[in-house]
A and B are shown apart, each in its own frame.
Chain A
Amino acid sequence: MNTIQFPQNRLTSALLRTLPLLGVLLIWILLSIIFAEIRVIPGPFAVVQAFIHDLSIYGTNVAATLSVATVGFCIGNAAAIILGILFVQVTWAERLLFRIAVASFCVPLVAIAPILVVILPGDGPKQALAALSVFFTTLIAVVLGLRSADPTSIHALRSLGCNRWNVLVKIRLFAMLPSLFAGLKIAAPAALLGAIIGEYLGSSQGLGVMLVQAQSAFQVPRTWAVATVMSLLAGLSYCVFGLIGRLATPWASQDVTLNGVALAPAKQRSFLASAAISLIGALGSAIIVIAAWYGLIAAFNLNHYFAKTPLDVLQFVTTAPDATGNTERLWNGILITLGDAALGFLFGTIAATIVALLIVAFPVFERTVMPLAIALRSVPLVAMTPLLALIFGRGILGVTVIVSIVTFFPTLINVVVGLRSAPILATDVVRSLGGSNALATRKVRLLYALPGFFAAVRIAVPGALAGATLAEWLATGTGIGAMLVQDYASSRFGALWAESVAIVLLSALLYAAIGLLERPITKHFAVATE
Chain B
Amino acid sequence: MFNHNTINMRNTNPFVVGIASVVAAVALLAGCTGNTPSSNSLTDTTMQLGWIANVENMGPYVALDKGYYKAEGLHTTIIPGGPSVTVEPLVVSGKALVGLGSTDTVAKAILQGAPIKIVAASLQKNPTSIMSLASAPVNTLKDMVGKRLCIQASGQDILKTVLAANKIDPNSVEFVPANFDPSPLVTGQCDAFTSFLNNQPITLAAQGVKTKTFPLSDYGYNVFSDVFIVSDSTLADTAKRAAVVKMISATARGWRSALDDTDSAASLMVSNYGKNQNLDLAQQKLGAKTYLDLVETDEVKEHGLLTMSDAAIKANIATLSSLGINITAATLFDTSLLADAKPVK
Contact = CB atoms under 8 A, between A and B. Distances in A.
Interface in B16-72: 16-17, 19-21, 23-25, 27-28, 31-34, 48-49, 52-54
Contacts of A208: 82
25 contacts: A38-B187, A39-B183, A39-B209, A54-B278, A75-B24, A120-B34, A123-B21, A200-B83, A203-B82, A204-B79, A206-B276, A209-B277, A212-B180, A217-B200, A217-B203, A218-B204, A219-B203, A220-B183, A386-B187, A473-B177, A477-B177, A482-B177, A489-B154, A490-B154, A491-B88
Interface of B: 1-6, 8-11, 16-17, 19-21, 23-25, 27-28, 31-34, 48-49, 52-54, 79-86, 88-90, 92-93, 95, 105, 108-109, 111-115, 152-157, 175-184, 186-189, 197, 200, 203-204, 206-209, 273, 275-280, 283
- Counting from the closest, the 10 A-B pairs by CB-CB distance are A122-B20, A489-B154, A121-B34, A217-B203, A114-B89, A491-B109, A215-B181, A485-B153, A305-B113, A200-B84
A263 interface: no
Contact of A205 (B9, B115, B157): B9
Interface stretch (A58-66, A271-279, A414-422, A424-432): A58-66
B203 A216 contact: yes
A200 B157 contact: no
A389 interface: yes
Interface in A89-126: 109-110, 113-115, 117-124
A121 B20 contact: yes
Q: Interface residues of B: mostly helix, strand, loop or mixed?
A: loop
A58 B3 CA distance: 15
A122 B24 contact: no
Given A118-B89, A213-B54, A218-B204, A386 B183 contact: yes
B213 to A, nearest CB: 14
B14 to A, nearest CB: 11
Given A124-B20, A216-B180, A70 B1 contact: yes
Nearest to A121: B34
B108 A490 contact: yes
A520 interface: no
A211 to B, nearest CB: 10
Given A40-B186, A202-B82, 5 more contacts: A57-B278, A67-B3, A117-B86, A204-B273, A305-B92
A58 to B, nearest CB: 9
Interface residues of A, number: 84
Contact of A204 (B80, B85, B155): B80
Interface of A: 38-40, 53-54, 56-57, 60-61, 63-64, 66-67, 70-71, 74-75, 109-110, 113-115, 117-124, 127-128, 131, 197, 199-206, 208-210, 212-213, 215-220, 237, 240, 299-300, 302-306, 382-383, 386-387, 389-390, 394, 473-477, 482, 485-486, 488-494
A61 B176 CA distance: 32
A203 B78 CA distance: 11
A305 B109 contact: yes
Nearest to A301: B93
Contacts of A302: 93
Contacts of B175: 477
Nearest to B49: A202
Contact of A117 (B90, B182, B204): B90
A212 B188 CA distance: 21
Contacts of A131: 24
A303 B178 CA distance: 31
B114 A305 contact: yes
Contact of A122 (B17, B86, B187, B283): B17
Contacts of B112: 305, 490-494
A209 to B, nearest CB: 6
B278 A53 contact: yes
Contacts of B49: 202
Nearest to B200: A216
Contacts of B279: 213
Contacts of A128: 24
B226 to A, nearest CB: 15
Contacts of B20: 121-124, 127
Contacts of B206: 217
B10 to A, nearest CB: 5
A122 B49 CA distance: 15
A118 B95 contact: yes
A201, A209, A213, A475 pick with most chain B CB within 10 angstroms: A213
Nearest to B177: A477
A67 B6 contact: yes
Contacts of A63: 3, 6
B85 to A, nearest CB: 5
Given A216-B203, A486-B154, A201 B86 contact: yes
A491 B108 contact: yes
A56 B27 CA distance: 34
Given A118-B89, A202-B85, A218 B186 contact: yes
A389 B189 contact: yes
B21, B152, B183 pick with most chain A CB within 10 angstroms: B183
B181 A386 contact: yes
Contacts of A75: 23-25
Contact of A121 (B6, B27, B280, B283): B27
Contact of B154 (A66, A123, A394, A488): A488
Contact of B4 (A67, A382, A390): A67
B3 A66 contact: yes
A303 B113 CA distance: 9
Contacts of B154: 485-486, 488-490
Contacts of A213: 52, 54, 277, 279
B114 A491 contact: yes
A477 B176 contact: yes
Contacts of B275: 57
A300 B25 CA distance: 13
A53 B280 CA distance: 11
Contact of A306 (B27, B54, B88, B108): B88
B95 A382 contact: no
A517 B84 CA distance: 38
A460 B110 CA distance: 39
Contacts of B183: 39-40, 215, 218, 220, 386-387, 390
A315 to B, nearest CB: 14
Nearest to B81: A202
A123 B155 CA distance: 29
Given A40-B183, A218-B183, A57 B153 contact: no
B90 A118 contact: yes
Contact of B24 (A70, A127, A306): A127
Nearest to A35: B187
Nearest to B203: A217
B189 A386 contact: yes
Nearest to A471: B177
A114 B86 CA distance: 6
A219 B207 contact: yes
Contacts of B16: 121-122
A216 B6 contact: no
B181 A303 contact: no
A122 B8 contact: yes
Given A213-B52, A216-B203, A486-B153, A201 B181 contact: no
